[in-house]
Amino acid sequence: MATDSKSFLRAAPAEPLPPPVARSGIIGWLRENLFSSPFNIALTLICAAFLAWIVPPLLRFFVFDAIWSADSREACLASPDNPDPGACWAFIRVWFSYFVYGFYPQAQRWRVDIFFAALAFGIVWLAWLHAPRRDTGAVYFFIVLPILSYVLLSGVPMVGLASVPSTLWGGILVTIVVATVGIVVSLPLGILLALGRRSDIPVVKFFSTAFIEFVRGVPLITVLFMASVMLPLFVPERFAPEKLLRALIGVAMFASAYMAEVVRGGLASVPRGQYEAAQALGLPFWRMMALVILPQALRVTLPNIVNTFIALFKDTSLVFIVGIFDFLRTIEAARVDPHWATPNTSVTGYAFAAAFYFICCYGMSRYARNVEARLARAHRR
Amino acid sequence: MDNRPDQAAPELAVQVIGLHKWYGEFHALRDINVTVTRGERIVICGPSGGGKSTLLRCINRLEDWQQGRIIVDGIELTDDPKQITAVRRDVGMVFQQFNLFPHLTVLENCTLAPIRVRHMPKKDAEELAMRFLTRVKIPEQAQKYPSRLSGGQQQRVAIARALCMNPKIMLFDEPTSALDPEMVKEVLDTMVGLASDGITMLVVSHEMGFARQVADRIIFMDDGQIVEIDEPKSFFENPQHERAKLFLQQVLR
C-alpha cells in the first residue's frame, strides 16, 4: 500500500470504473443541486410551495377556463353556468388582424405578408451559421431588403402598388419595422461612433463624444419628440419626412449612442498586443479594425449587444408618444372597445402583448447564447 | 522609395541617427547611433528597463520619438502613414507575448497579411503559409486555434506568420522570455535556422548561448544608452565597460 512504504511502483494500470449510482444521473443531480445541504433543502421546499401556489391559478385562468372563441362579449362575462370565466382569447382572435396590420388597407395586406416573409428569410439566412453564401445574404439583408420593404410597404404607384401612407400602418407591422431599422442601423453606426470617440483627430473625437453624451443624457421620449418636431425645421417643406420616418431616425440615433458605448467597452478589452501585431504586419487602420480588432471586440461584448437589442425592441413601444400606432398601442386601443368590454379583456390583452414581446426577446437571447457558446469553444484552452 | 539626398545605400538595412525618446519627463533613449548592414545578426542585451525593447519597437514605428532619424531599408520613418506602412510590410516582428489572433486558425493567422496587404490569391497564400509552417516544424497544427497550442508552438507560429510577408528584416522582442524552459530550445533552434538563411535579424534577448552562437555583433544597452558594441567573442571574454562586466557576471553564473 502506498501509505506505509517510502517508495512505490505501480505494477498494473488502474482501470477506469463507472461512477457510483447514487452520485450520478438524475438521482445524483437531484442530490447535488436540490438537496445538498439543509439550507438547499429548505430553499427547494419553499420554491416548490411557491410554484404550487402560483401555477395552478394561472393555468386555470389562461388555459382551462379561458374562452377560446365567441361572437360577442356575453360569452366572456360571468353567468350562472360560467361563474368564473378565464382569459377572453376570443377578443384577441377577433381583433387579431388589427393587432398585426393596424389600419393597413385590407386589399393590400398581402404586401405586408410578403414583407414579413422576406424579413424572416433574411434573418434566417444571416443567423444560420452554416448557410451557403452568407456574404450574398449580407448584401440581401442590408441593401436589397430595405429597398424591397420600402417599395412593398409604402407603395410605388408606378409599379402598380398603390401608395399606403405610414399613418395607416400599425400593430406588429410597425413594431417590427421600428425595431429592425433601429437594430440594423445602430450596430454599424455605433461602431463608427465608438471608433470616432477613440480617434486621435480632435474634431472627430469631439463630435462623436458630444453626440453620444447628448443622446444618452436625454430620455428616448424626448429624442422622439425632438426628431418629430425639429427635423421638419431643418429640411425644406417638400422633403419633410413623414411621421414614421422621423420616429425611425430618432430611434436609430438613440440606439446608436448606446451601442457606441457597448462597442467601446469591447474595444478597450482587446489587448494592445493585438493592435501591435496587426500593425507590425503592415495592416492599415481600417483593415486592422475589420479583420483583427472588431471581431474580437464584438465577440467579447456580444451579451451586452444583445441586451441593448432586446431593450430597444421593447422601447419601440414609446413611439406612441408621437402618434404612431405600434403593437402595444393597438392593444390599448382595442381593449376599450365597448363591443368586448368585460372584466377580463384588459388582462387578456396585456397577457397577449407580454407573450409576444417575450417570444421575440427570448428568441434573440437564445440565439445569442448559441453564438456565444460556439465562439467560446474556439477560445477554450 | 523616397529620393532624399542622403538616401541610405542599399546595403544598410537599418540606420539610427541621433535618436532620443522621452516618455513625459523620463529620457528613455539617449543619443542612439547604430547602423545594421544587410544580412547582419544583432543581439541587443542588457538589464531590464534599459531601453532595448523600446529601441526595437522604434524601428517599425510602434513607438515614436521626439528627436533623431531612423531609416529602414532606404525609407525614412516619419509621421507619414504611407511610409510607415511601407516599412512595416518589409519588417517582420515577433513579440514576447506571441500576439497571435485568437479568433483565427493558425493557417488564417499566417495568410491574413499576405491576402489583405499583398493581395495574394487565397490558394497561393495558403501554400506559402504551409511552407513556412513546415519550416518551423508544425504543419499539422494548421487548422487549430492558437489557444490549443503550447507556448513554444505559438511562438513558432508567430515566427511563421511574420515570415509569410517575406520581410527583409526580422525583429525579435524577447521571443523566449514568456516560455516554459523546456520550450525555449525549440524556438531558439528555429531562430538559428533562420539566421543561417541570411535574413537581417535584430534580437532582444537574455539568451546568451544563442547570442554567442549566432550574433555578428552584440549591442549592450543600459539606462537608455548604447554602452558597448562588440563581436560576441570579445564581448563575452573581455567586456570593456564596467556595466557590461557587471551584467555578464550576473547572467553567466
Q: 534599459: which residue's cell?
A: B50
Collapse the DSSP code of A223 into the 3-class scheme (helix H, G, I; strand E, B; otherwise coil) and give the result. helix
In degrees, to the nearest 5, what angle opens at C-alpha A80 toward C-alphas A78 and A84? 40
Which helix (H) or strand (E) covers residue A202, if one does?
helix A202-216
- Predicted confidence (pLDDT) at residue B135 exceeds the cutoff of 60: yes
pLDDT at B253: 64
Nearest to B189 by CA among B135, B235, B144: B135
User: Which residues 157-196 of B have a C-beta within 8 angstroms of A?
Assistant: 161-162, 165
pLDDT at A34: 76
Dihedral angle sign, alpha carbons of residues B108, B111, B116, B119: negative
> What grid cell was written down for B73?
531599408
| Chain A residue with Cα closest to B61 | A280
Per-residue pLDDT of chain A (381 residues; tens, 9 = 90+): 555 668 888 889 999 988 887 766 787 778 777 778 888 889 989 999 999 999 998 988 888 888 888 777 777 887 777 777 888 888 888 889 999 998 888 888 888 999 999 999 888 888 777 777 777 887 888 888 888 888 888 888 777 788 888 888 889 999 999 999 999 899 899 999 999 999 989 999 999 999 999 999 999 999 888 888 887 787 776 666 788 888 998 999 999 999 999 999 999 999 999 999 999 999 999 999 999 999 899 888 888 898 899 999 999 999 988 888 889 999 998 888 888 888 888 888 999 999 999 999 999 999 888 888 887 776 654
> What grid cell was written down for B155?
511562438
pLDDT at B5: 45
Sequence-distant (≥ 6) Cβ neighbours of residue B170 within 8 angstroms: B91, B92, B93, B94, B162, B163, B194, B199, B200, B201, B202
Candidates A282, A295, A375; nearest CB to B165: A282
User: Based on the number of CB atoms within 10 Å of its own CB, is A343 exposed (0-12), middle (13-18) or buried (19 or more)?
Assistant: exposed
Do B1 and B75 touch, CB atoms closer than 8 A? yes
Q: What is A89-104+164-380's CATH topology?
A: MetI-like fold (1.10.3720)
Mean pLDDT, chain B, as a whole number?
Answer: 90
How far apart are alpha carbons A244 and A154 in whole angstroms? 11
Q: Do B162 and A284 touch (CB under 8 A)?
A: no
More confident residue, A26 or B44: B44
Mean pLDDT for the stretch of residues B162-190:
92
Q: Do B165 and A281 touch (CB under 8 A)?
A: yes
Candidates B99, B116, B117; nearest CB to A277: B99
pLDDT at B179: 92
Do B90 and B167 touch, CB atoms closer than 8 A? yes
Q: Do A287 and B117 touch (CB under 8 A)?
A: yes
How far apart are alpha carbons A81 and B96 in whole angstroms? 82
Interface check for B67 against chain A (CB to CB < 8 A): the answer is no
- Give residue B2's pLDDT band: very low, low, confident or very high (50, 70, 90): very low
- C-alpha dihedral (B198, B204, B209, B213), degrees to nearest 10: 20
Q: What is the pTM of this model?
A: 0.82
Do A85 and A67 touch, CB atoms closer than 8 A? yes
Q: Do A291 and B92 touch (CB under 8 A)?
A: no
Interface check for B103 against chain A (CB to CB < 8 A): the answer is yes
Do B186 and B192 touch, CB atoms closer than 8 A? no
Distance from CA of B142 to the nearest CA of A (A): 14
In degrees, to the nearest 5, what angle opens at C-alpha B17 toward C-alphas B16 and B18? 125
Could you tell me the residue ranges of all domains in chain A? 89-104+164-380
Candidates B99, B147, B165; nearest CB to A380: B147
Q: What is the ipTM of this complex?
A: 0.91
Interface check for B147 against chain A (CB to CB < 8 A): the answer is yes
Mean pLDDT for the stretch of residues B20-32:
93
